[in-house]
């Protein structure tokens, strides 16, 4: 081994604490990038493999009732590959021991085999018997939520008749990865079931022999899908068809792909922030570290080593530290990525998991870290290696010591001598002090950004579940009913108030821009569910005429108050309407459009109809009400607000806590690395000064206070700056997560700021504990003999 290489490893071992601390800073950025990119890659590959293996359809369409012979015409559409017709219906499920109503989505399958498309993953049990009419397959999440097993019996209401069914199998489906019931914001496995029944049994129960009401198909590899959708709509329109949709708009797949898209946003924003911070801090730390090697660099040049050899020697030291950080970060990122992916796999119930991270994330993170660290080191090395050996071996010119404003001010008389020394040191090196505080500010900012998710989701839940909605239940009907049916709901046990709502499926268009969604039509005197401006935190009256749009939807369509929006209704007679925009409101969830129920019914010309009702109920009569709803044939769905809130907390908040923990650990590593290195380098630079103070009679505590007090003041300044940095990072995250699904409210609570400060201070205290031991162990004679 060459002499310089032996020196390199000897120096690295001597400063092993600083090496580890710098590596931790680099590792935090690498781990964030590897975790995010490997999770995205795994989710994309897993979902693609799942879809391909179980033949997930490319196109989905619904009709009221269409004859089976229509499939021959559909098959003749150019580009159509495989067709699967079926029967689907919502039904009420009665589970023994569960008092609340359960809504089930029932789909038909062939009795003797798997369907051609959207095949099932049998987890337990066997396929349906060809002759049995009382067997059903249920989805695994629902079975686990209720502890159901093979051969257990559940009751279903089919076409007004209640009938027991035996569970023949428990399965998963690529079509229902994210299973949402009517009116639900999040999956609720206790109150929504996906089930499959034999085609003959369903046709008999719903009078659909030789007919279907649901269609899925796949298209040929390079076929254009839009012409297929258009021709399919033309064929299905006479039979009450709702516009066909492609896979990307299918509700379950849309949520899965949206989650992957959010992960991509996080993989762009968060790792960029962590890597930028780690590069900045590595630059700052290594610059100071190499500056302390000034005498050694001069000595090497005096022994005949060239500038290139000396520069390469120190750059190799940087590379070794970076490689240590890259290795640590890659291993940590792989571990966190695997855990994160497994968490998503459990959430989505993937029957398989593909986790094979590619090399691009490791290479990208490594190149950025090494390039940033080398750039920082080059600046420091170049300044020193260009000096003649005699100059480099001499200490730099001392600072200009003089009485400043601080030493002359009245404040100094209230401070003891060690504190004044700490303040003077900061004043002599303002730029270096500011950079140290900036490093702590970024550490705290990362923690603020992470903890703020809890504030945002807390506000989102408060606004959506308590302020905008005051109902206890939302009941959905199997078919739209006349408004007089509302009186039947009002007379159910415990119902104190009932208000009608109608969701009208439609395409909203403005020039060439369009959005497929629905119009929420409400009564003018509604009290339980309001048009709510989430930003203003106030309700908006239901307009007599016109539309109120969510601001995000108005931006997508590029319309404002007074503009006309074309509404292509996707149900009933499917009319096209021109309706003016009368106002816009800010919403955190979805992209809603609101209208007056009476006005929309008049425009649609199909009577005074509604299909959903919000209910205010007496909790003391909840059991009687649930029993009545279970046995009311016209009821197709029941959404309990408290259950939706519980699902929100379980699905999002619990997942969020894992996310918060991961990033707090990584941000804490950054905070520790900055504090430890800043303090350790300051100790190297001021060892002679601190030893002199000990000789002059200062105690161990006072000597440590001079050093640690200076860093503490810089940390306190960093905490103040960290609040501003945190706000900026939160703002950038809120802008990045402004999607069609939800917006992140820009809110930071005092508790978040306080906890962020506490976490940074704990990391600082840990580094102080390690450094204070070194101060106590200073060899006074050795240090004072060191030549200035």
- Which of 63-72, 348-357, 400-409, 697-706 comes out lowest in average pLDDT? 400-409
Whether 468 contacts 536, CB under 8 Å: no
d(CA 373, CA 365): 12
Q: pLDDT per residue over 79-95, tens digit each?
A: 999 999 999 988 888 88
Say if residue 654's pLDDT is above 50.
Answer: yes
Q: Which helix (H) or strand (E) is 137 found in, with range?
A: strand 135-139
Per the model's pLDDT, the better-predicted residue between 555 and 394 turns out to be 555
What percent of the chain stands above pLDDT 70? 87
Contacts of 736 (CB under 8 A, 6+ apart): 265, 268, 269
Instruction: Kindly report the number of other CB atoms within 10 A of residue 409's CB atom.
Output: 9
Model pLDDT, residue 312: 83
Q: What is the DSSP string of 352-419?
A: S------SHHHHHHHHHHHHHHHHHHHHHHHHHHTS-HHHHHSPPPPP-----HHHHSGGGGGS-HHH
* Residue that the structure tokens 């009608």 belong to: 500
Q: Is 87 left (phi over 0), alpha (psi -120 to 50) or beta?
A: beta
Angle between helices 307-348 and 294-302 (to 10 degrees): 140
> What number is the average pLDDT over the span 159-171?
87
Nearest by Cα to 611 from 503, 531, 498, 469:
503
> What number is the average pLDDT over the span 577-601?
90
- Residue 699 φ then ψ, to 5°: -75, 170
Whether 553 contacts 516, CB under 8 Å: no
User: 412: which 2 tokens?
Assistant: 């100094």
**Highest averaged pLDDT of the listed ranges 5-9, 566-570, 704-708:** 566-570
Give, in degrees to the nearest 5, the angle at Cα 583 between 582 and 585: 155
d(CA 188, CA 95): 15
d(CA 180, CA 343): 19
Q: pLDDT per residue over 735-773, tens digit each?
A: 777 776 677 788 888 889 998 889 888 888 888 787 776
Model pLDDT, residue 410: 55
> What is the SS3 assignment for 773?
helix
Mean pLDDT of the chain: 82
Q: How far is CA 649 from CA 256, 342, 461, 480, 722, in A?
A: 19, 19, 9, 32, 29
Say if residue 651's pLDDT is above 70.
Answer: no
> What number is the average pLDDT over the span 637-664?
75
Please list the residues that pair with 538 across neighbouring strands: 533
d(CA 647, CA 669): 33
> What is the SS3 assignment for 523?
coil
Model pLDDT, residue 519: 92
Whether 375 contacts 283, CB under 8 Å: yes
- Which of 127-136, 535-544, 778-787 comes out lowest in average pLDDT? 778-787
Model pLDDT, residue 558: 92
- Which of 150-154, 250-254, 289-293, 576-580 comes out lowest in average pLDDT? 289-293
- Quick one: pLDDT band at residue 788, thresholds 50, 70, 90? very low
- Quick one: pLDDT band at residue 778, thresholds 50, 70, 90? low
> What is the SS3 assignment for 580?
strand
Q: Which helix (H) or strand (E) is 579 found in, with range?
A: strand 576-585
Q: pLDDT per residue over 235-286, tens digit each?
A: 988 888 877 888 988 888 888 888 788 777 777 776 776 667 666 666 666 6
Model pLDDT, residue 781: 56
Whether 581 contacts 529, CB under 8 Å: no
pTM of the model: 0.74
Nearest by Cα to 551 from 541, 542, 565, 561:
561
Nearest by Cα to 56 from 212, 236, 176:
176
Q: pLDDT per residue over 509-538, tens digit each?
A: 998 888 888 899 999 888 888 898 988 888
Q: How far is CA 711 from CA 2, 510, 519, in A?
A: 38, 59, 59
Model pLDDT, residue 507: 87
Nearest by Cα to 274 from 323, 228, 333, 319:
333
Contacts of 16 (CB under 8 A, 6+ apart): none
Give, in degrees to the nearest 5, the angle at Cα 257 between 92 and 40: 130
d(CA 675, CA 17): 12
d(CA 89, CA 107): 7
Q: pLDDT per residue over 47-72, tens digit each?
A: 999 999 999 999 999 888 899 999 99
Whether 573 contacts 525, CB under 8 Å: no
> What number is the average pLDDT over the span 623-645?
81
Whether 362 contacts 350, CB under 8 Å: no
**Highest averaged pLDDT of the listed ranges 101-110, 419-428, 637-646:** 101-110
């Amino acid at each position: 081994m060459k002499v310089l290489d032996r020196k390199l490893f000897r120096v690295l071992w001597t400063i092993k604490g600083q090496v580890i601390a710098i590596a931790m800073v680099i590792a935090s950025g690498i781990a964030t990038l590897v975790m995010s990119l490997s999770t995205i890659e795994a989710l994309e590959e897993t979902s693609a493999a799942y879809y391909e293996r179980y033949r997930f359809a490319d196109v989905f369409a619904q009709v009221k009732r269409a004859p089976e012979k229509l499939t021959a015409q559909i098959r003749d559409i150019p580009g159509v590959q495989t067709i699967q017709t079926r029967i689907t219906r919502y039904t009420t499920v009665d589970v023994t021991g569960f008092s609340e109503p359960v809504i089930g989505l029932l789909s038909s399958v062939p009795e003797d085999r798997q369907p051609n498309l959207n095949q099932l993953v049998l987890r337990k049990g066997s396929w349906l018997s060809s002759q049995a009419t009382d067997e059903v397959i249920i989805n695994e999440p629902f079975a686990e939520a209720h502890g159901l097993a093979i051969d257990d019996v559940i009751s279903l209401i089919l076409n007004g008749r209640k009938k027991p069914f035996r569970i023949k199998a428990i399965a998963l489906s690529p079509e229902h990865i994210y299973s949402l019931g009517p009116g639900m914001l999040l999956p609720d496995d206790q109150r929504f079931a996906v089930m499959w029944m034999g085609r003959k049994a369903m046709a008999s129960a719903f009078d659909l022999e030789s007919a279907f009401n649901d269609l899925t198909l796949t298209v040929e590899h390079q076929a254009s899908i839009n012409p297929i959708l258009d021709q399919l709509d033309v064929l299905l329109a006479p039979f009450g068809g709702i516009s066909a949709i492609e896979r990307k708009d299918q509700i379950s797949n849309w949520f899965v792909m949206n989650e992957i898209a959010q992960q991509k946003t996080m993989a762009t924003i968060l790792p960029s922030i962590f890597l930028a911070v780690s590069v900045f801090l590595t630059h700052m730390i290594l610059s100071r570290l190499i500056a302390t090697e000034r005498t050694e660099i001069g000595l090497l040049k005096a022994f005949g080593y060239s500038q290139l050899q000396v520069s390469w020697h120190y750059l190799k030291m940087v590379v070794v530290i970076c490689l240590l950080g890259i290795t640590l970060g890659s291993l940590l990122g792989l571990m966190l990525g695997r855990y994160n992916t497994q968490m998503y796999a459990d959430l989505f119930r993937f029957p398989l998991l593909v986790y094979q991270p590619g090399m691009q994330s490791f290479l990208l993170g490594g190149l950025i870290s090494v390039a940033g660290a080398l750039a920082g080191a080059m600046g420091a090395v170049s300044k020193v290696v260009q000096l003649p050996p005699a100059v480099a071996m001499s200490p730099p010119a001392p600072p200009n010591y003089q009485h400043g404003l601080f030493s002359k001010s009245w404040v100094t008389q209230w401070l003891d001598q060690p504190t004044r020394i700490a303040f003077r040191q900061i004043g002599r090196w303002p730029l270096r002090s500011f950079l140290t505080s900036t490093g702590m500010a970024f550490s705290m900012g990362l923690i603020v950004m992470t903890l703020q998710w809890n504030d945002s989701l807390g506000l989102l839940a408060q606004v959506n579940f308590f302020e905008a909605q005051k109902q206890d239940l939302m009941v959905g009907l199997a078919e739209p009913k006349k408004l007089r049916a509302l009186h039947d709901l009002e007379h159910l046990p415990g119902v104190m108030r009932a208000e009608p709502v109608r969701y009208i499926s439609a395409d909203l268009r403005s020039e060439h821009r369009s959005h497929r969604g629905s119009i929420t039509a409400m009564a003018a005197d509604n009290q339980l569910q309001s048009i709510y401006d989430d930003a203003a935190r106030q309700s908006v009256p239901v307009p007599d005429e016109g539309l109120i749009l969510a601001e995000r939807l108005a931006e997508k369509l590029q319309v404002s108050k007074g503009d006309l929006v074309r509404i292509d209704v996707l149900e009933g007679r499917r009319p096209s309407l021109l309706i003016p925009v009368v106002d816009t409101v800010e919403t955190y969830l979805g992209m809603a459009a609101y209208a007056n129920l009476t006005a929309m019914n008049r425009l649609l010309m199909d009577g005074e109809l509604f299909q959903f009702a919000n209910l205010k109920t007496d909790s003391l009569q909840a059991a009687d009400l649930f029993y009545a709803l279970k046995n009311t044939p016209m009821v197709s769905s029941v959404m309990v607000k408290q259950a939706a809130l519980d699902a929100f907390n379980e699905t999002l908040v619990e997942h969020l806590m894992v996310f918060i923990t991961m990033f707090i650990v990584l941000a804490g590593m950054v905070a520790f690395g900055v504090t430890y290195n800043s303090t350790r380098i300051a100790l190297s630079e001021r060892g002679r000064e601190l030893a002199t103070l000990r000789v002059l009679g200062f105690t161990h505590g006072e000597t440590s206070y001079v050093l640690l007090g200076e860093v503490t003041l810089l940390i306190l300044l960093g905490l103040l700056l960290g609040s501003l940095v945190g706000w900026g990072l939160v703002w950038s995250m809120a802008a990045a997560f402004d999607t069609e699904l939800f917006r992140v409210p820009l809110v930071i609570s005092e508790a978040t700021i306080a906890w962020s400060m506490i976490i940074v201070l704990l990391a600082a205290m840990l580094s102080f504990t390690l450094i204070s031991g070194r101060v106590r162990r200073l060899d006074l004679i050795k240090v004072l003999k060191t030549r200035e």
